[in-house]
Amino acid sequence: MNFTKTTEQDSNYTHLDKMSINELLTNINNEDKTVAQAVEKAIPQIENLVTPAVPKLRDGGRLFYIGAGTSGRLGVLDASECPPTFGVPFDLVIGLIAGGDIAIRKAVENAEDSKTQGWKDLQDYDISDKDVVVGIAASGTTPYVISALEKCNEKGIITGCITCNDASPLALTAKYPIVVVVGPEFVTGSSRMKAGTAQKMVLNMITTTIMIQLGKVKGNKMIDMQLSNNKLVDRGHKMLMKELNIERPLAETLIKKYGNVRNAINNYLLEKE
């Protein structure tokens, strides 16, 4: 299959090793400025994936991210941030990375080249057609990811992908591809840069939109967030003070009594009736 890997094309800049620190930082920033515009063009594709994903999760399904290297780490990161942010179970959004959890910190040689391990990793979670699987690969050629999505397609599981190369094997495999063409990287082939930034932005959009659709946000507040440190407890107090028009001492009492913002609001309003 012939397609152009724009993520592998030569950088628009030459002689990086001759640039000053200010020139390097400025030029990296200039490249980064183009990422949001590339993501904007993919909004219809993102919507196409999120639309069928919402009812799947509402009906008890799960969202899986599967990737290798930087892409896999970004999926794991986004998945791991959903429980504390939205108060959802840890097995609602699951990130899988080629090579297992050790690969989050240290690259595992050849892990991404397996054409069987991706599906095996999904099977460990009793994957079914209730779930949604999103493959993440900047290049769009990672065997670990592509083969996993192929098996999902065979089983009637909704598949999506996030890639940065148009008409890549991954984009052609996923039922709902998201293709964000960011062009050549500042350092040739270093897809941890613009491609990684684009993937992170799309992941934020997917999970945040799904969680809002699932009712995990009230107004613009994370009322189901886990109050796991002093900063978040203080944020919870402020939410209650504003939402219920009460003073801090009462807000503190409600949080201690009911554990989180949603429960505090609901029970306080019931008591007022």
Who contacts 144 (Cβ-Cβ below 8 Å, separation ≥6)? Answer: 66, 68, 98, 111, 112, 113, 114, 115, 117, 118
CA–CA dist 48, 69 (Å, integer): 26
Q: What is the CA radius of gyration of the chain?
A: 21
Active-site residue, from 8, 31, 112, 243: 112
Banded pLDDT at 4 (limits 50, 70, 90): confident
User: What does DSSP assign to residue 16?
Assistant: G
> pLDDT tens, 115-146?
999 999 999 999 999 999 999 999 999 999 99
| Straight-line distance from the first to the last Cα atom of the chain, in angstroms, rounded to the nearest whole number | 66
φ and ψ at residue 66, rounded to 5 degrees: -135, 130
φ and ψ at residue 155, rounded to 5 degrees: -95, 5
The pTM assigned to this predicted structure is 0.92
CA–CA dist 34, 109 (Å, integer): 32
What's the full length of the chain, in residues? 273
Who contacts 153 (Cβ-Cβ below 8 Å, separation ≥6)? Answer: 159, 173, 175
- Verify whether residue 81 is a known catalytic residue: yes
> pLDDT tens, 199-223?
999 999 999 999 999 999 989 989 8
Amino acid at position 178, single letter: I
> pLDDT tens, 43-85?
999 999 999 999 999 999 999 999 999 999 999 999 999 999 9
Active-site residue, from 8, 23, 47, 81: 81
* DSSP bridge pairs for 158: 132
